[in-house]
Chain A
Amino acid sequence: MTGRAKLIGQVAALACVAGLLALLVWKLTHQQHAPPVGSQAPMFSLPLLDPGPDPTGDDVSLSAFRGRGVVLNFWASWCIPCKSEAPVLEKYYLRYGRRVTFLGIDYHDLASDARTFVDAHGLKFPMLADGSGDVTSSYGISQVPETYVLNASGKIVAHLAGPISSSEFASAFRAALKEVS
């Protein structure tokens, strides 16, 4: 093999290794982490779980609720703790819903099962469908239920990584609701 061909081969091999290293670095730096309390909540736009008579209606955007406190509750119909959390969440919605926007985000779920879940628990606040899980991932969530409370400027006031019905998170959720309402 001539010296030139050998050099080309070596450069190509080095380029391959550099490419693989770059991919590794990109993967490590782009892993989704839960946004910290005090930071701006990631923006998103999602379709309603139950679009009603107009299935071509626009998606619901988080930015539309700027100026009000927002509760983002991530859940799924297959999630067992979500079942015990649902009536508690509805109770808070009935109490604070006039001052704070409640949004349920249904994650990695079958829309038909999710609608059955909503009906079975009599949930009245808007539900958004995140079938692909992209929005949920942007909030660093891998297990549901989890709840974020945002203030009027869209900053995260509280992140509760578990059911708000549990004693561990109930008081923190109440305090966050009072703060943003």
Chain B
Amino acid sequence: MTWRFLAVVAAALALAGPAAACAHPHTSLSFLEGQVMCPTCHTTLDQSDSQAAEQIKTYIAQRIAACWTAQRIETALVANYGQAILAEPSHSGFDLLAWWLPIAGVLGGALILALAVWRWSHGRDDEPPTTAASGLDEETERKLDDLLAEMD
């Protein structure tokens, strides 16, 4: 009876251990599932149920239970799998291009568009009117006037 009681207590402690170790987790599995890639299927973990993805999810869950921060878990994963395990490129070195190039592209495009609109609007103001108010060019207008005069 005593042995049975001790076995139940040991099992309960084993199950409750990780939770008791971290009463206030620093991050969540659902957050990191969107930040970490499945290395074999090239999608984020939340979109994959492959064996490799499940292994990483278990690893993350264990580390969250041990009170690790998201940053620490990501660092450990990068040490194991390389930088490609992260869904987002890092904020340093060559990877910075991935952050700044789209911004530069949008700004450059907006600048070109603004320049084109400015030139187009100013070009319209400066251009001398080539057509009369009726929408006919001067020569046609004159011929029409002559024709109407003859009819009168």
Contact = CB atoms under 8 A, between A and B. Distances in A.
A140 to B, nearest CB: 14
B82 A78 contact: no
B55 A1 contact: no
Contacts of A134: 82
Given A1-B120, A110-B56, A131 B81 contact: yes
Contacts, number: 37
A113 B82 CA distance: 17
Given A1-B120, A5-B119, A108 B51 contact: no
Contacts of B39: 108, 133
A90 B123 CA distance: 81
B119 A1 contact: yes
A1 B123 contact: yes
B54 interface: yes
B124 to A, nearest CB: 12
Interface string A69-111: 0000000111110000000000000000000000000001111
Interface of A is mostly: loop
Given A1-B119, A1-B120, A110 B55 contact: yes
Contacts of A131: 80-82
Contacts of B81: 108, 131-133
Interface of B is mostly: helix
A76 B40 CA distance: 11
Interface residues of B, number: 17
Interface string B51-91: 11011100100000000000000000000111010000000
Given A5-B119, A108-B40, A133-B39, A76 B52 contact: yes
Contacts of B123: 1
Given A1-B119, A1-B123, A133-B39, A110 B80 contact: yes
Residue of A1, A76, A110 ringed by the most chain B CB atoms within 10 A: A110
B116 interface: yes
Nearest to B39: A108
Contacts of A80: 51
Contacts of B119: 1, 5
Contact of B55 (A77, A133, A142): A77
16 contacts: A5-B119, A9-B112, A78-B52, A80-B51, A108-B39, A108-B40, A110-B55, A110-B59, A110-B80, A111-B80, A113-B55, A131-B80, A131-B81, A131-B82, A132-B81, A133-B39
Given A78-B52, A109-B52, 6 more contacts: A1-B119, A77-B55, A108-B40, A110-B55, A113-B59, A131-B80
